Structure formats: C-alpha cells, structure tokens
Chain A
Amino acid sequence: MELFVNITLFTFLLVTALMIIRLRDLFAVVMLSGVFSLLSAGLFVALDAVDVAFTEAAVGAGITTVLFLGALRLTGAVEKPPRESQFVPLAVMTGLAAILIYGTMDMPPFGLAAAPIHLHVAPQYISGAETQIGIPNVVSAVLASYRGFDTLGETGVIFTAGIGVILLLRAGRHTRRQHKGDAA
C-alpha cells in the first residue's frame, strides 16, 4: 500500500515538474509549483515526517504561492522564449544530476537503524525528550531546546528576509518618488 502511494505521488511530482518546465504561462507555473509542494507534503507524511509535511504545506503550497502571485503582478505573467540554445544548461544539469545520483550510492540504505546519523546524538535526544524535557513531541524538543541556537539563527534568517524585502521594495518606491521630484 505504501509503495503504491509513493509511486503515485512520485509520478504526479514528475508530471508536475515536466509541466512547469514546458509551460510559458507563469500564472499556471505558480499554481503548479503549489501543487508540487502539496505533493511533496504528501510524500513527507508517507515518510512519517509530519512536522516537515506541515511546514511544506503551509509555506510551500500556501504562502509561497501567494507571494509568487504578488511578484507576478509586478513583473508580468508570460515567460519570454529563451534566446540562446538550451543545450549547455541541459548538459550541465544532466552532469550534476549524474554526480548527485552517484553520490547517493555511498549512502546507507534508506531507514537503516545502524546508519551513522541514527547513532550520534539522535538516541540521546529521543530518550532525553522524555526524561530531561518532558515533551512528547521530540521535534519540538530538539528544535527549541537541544538546538536552540540553530533556531535562534533561523529566526534571524526570517527576520533578515523580511528586512531585505522591505529594503528592496520600499527603497525602489522612494527613488521613483525622488525622480518625479527631479522632473518637476
């Protein structure tokens, strides 16, 4: 059953990705990227990573879609046809994909309990969440307590992203107003 669900989700993911490449109408591309995120969220649920699926559905399929639509309003909704031959980018990406796939061959099999990542600090976190922190959701315990410094940095990243967008979009408006003043 799980195999069937995974195959279905991956097939839909592949179809969505190919559609995104083929389409020139950016409105449809934005909608399809939302679909792509939702399908990925489905895959994360199948992998029992509910927290990640939650974030993917809320951020990827929700907010990002709206922000892309906002960006489309500013830029226009049709992608220009490429001017140069696409052979070189295609070759580079194929090569990169081949290297990445070759890299996965050295990885331990999926879900192996003896994989290095499950032997380092993970057992300590899983038992500690119960005895040291007393929180049933291990993800929250790791995120907010064990890895508090990381989350502090991540919150800083979000803050910086907000500041960056304000600087970019509001600064542009300011200079244009100045231009108008110069013309007058």
Chain B
Amino acid sequence: MKQHLIVRIGAKLLIPPIMLIALYVQFHGDFGPGGGFQAGVIFAAALILYGLVFGSAELCRVAPPHIILKLMAAGWLIYIGAGFIGLGLGGGYLNYNVLSINPMTGQHLGIFLVELAVGITVASAMLVIYQCFAAHQRVEPADDEG
C-alpha cells in the first residue's frame, strides 16, 4: 500500500493520536472508562495500522518480534510480581493496602502496576498474533507438494 498517497498520509496523521489515546486510556482508567485491556488493544491497533500501510517488514523493524515476545511475558510477570510484593510486605497475595503507609495510596500504586502489566501483555500479544499472520505465507493445497 506504499504507493497510495492518501492512505499513507492518513495513517501518518492517525497513528500518533491513536497512540496518545491508548496512553490516555491506560493511565486515566482509574477515573474514566478504560484500563489496561482497552489501552493495550488500542496501542496494538496503532502499530498494526502502521504494519498494514507500510508493510510487515517495516513493522518488524519498529517492533522486533523477539522484543515483543519478551514484553508479552514481562507483562504477565509484572502482574505476578506485583502480587508477591504484597505477600512480601506482610499482606496477602495481590493485597495492595500494604504497598504504602496509606492503604489508599497503596491501592492506587497496585492498580497502576497491575493495569500497566495488563496493557503490556495485551498490546504485545495482539501484535505477536498479527505478526504471525502477516509473516505466514499462504498455505497451498497439499497435492502439488507430492
């Protein structure tokens, strides 16, 4: 789609605001609708749009699959780790009250961490799935192999 000027310029104009909205949804999820799941999907959508317009090779340059793969695992590990912090500080697993002297600040911190972890995992999982589909060549019928 590189030769389509309108699509290319349109995508270039759209991608930064989409990413900005994703970050807004991520970090404003405590106060308005949204959170890690939605933010992750929106962020992945921005990168997928980039991949659709400029080609999947270019997307792999911007978001190398081996890094995205590690981020996908890292997100979930952050979540699991956030639970263990609570356990280590004398509360139960995933108890955020003990993260700070003030229980409410602790809750804010815990929810921030957990939502961030969800956002990272969701965004990278969506991107990995898209990259898998994009990198895969069309499977030809088996009879012309034999």
Contact = CB atoms under 8 A, between A and B. Distances in A.
Real binding pair: yes
- How many interface residues does chain B have, given as a range? 35 or more
Contact of B111 (A62, A71, A135, A149): A135
B126 A63 contact: yes
A144 B100 CA distance: 17
A74 B138 contact: yes
Interface in A150-172: 151-152, 154-156, 158-159, 161-162, 165-166, 169-170, 172
B38 A73 contact: no
Interface string B13-43: 0000000000001000111111111100110
Interface string B108-129: 1011001101100110111011
A72 B18 CA distance: 26
Contact of A54 (B38, B72, B111, B118): B38
29 contacts: A51-B33, A58-B45, A63-B41, A66-B52, A74-B133, A133-B104, A133-B107, A134-B107, A134-B108, A137-B29, A140-B29, A140-B30, A140-B35, A140-B115, A141-B111, A144-B35, A148-B114, A151-B79, A152-B83, A154-B118, A155-B75, A155-B76, A155-B121, A161-B125, A165-B129, A166-B128, A166-B132, A169-B135, A169-B136
Interface of A: 50-51, 54-55, 58-59, 62-63, 66-67, 70-71, 73-75, 132-137, 139-141, 143-145, 148-149, 151-152, 154-156, 158-159, 161-162, 165-166, 169-170, 172-173, 179
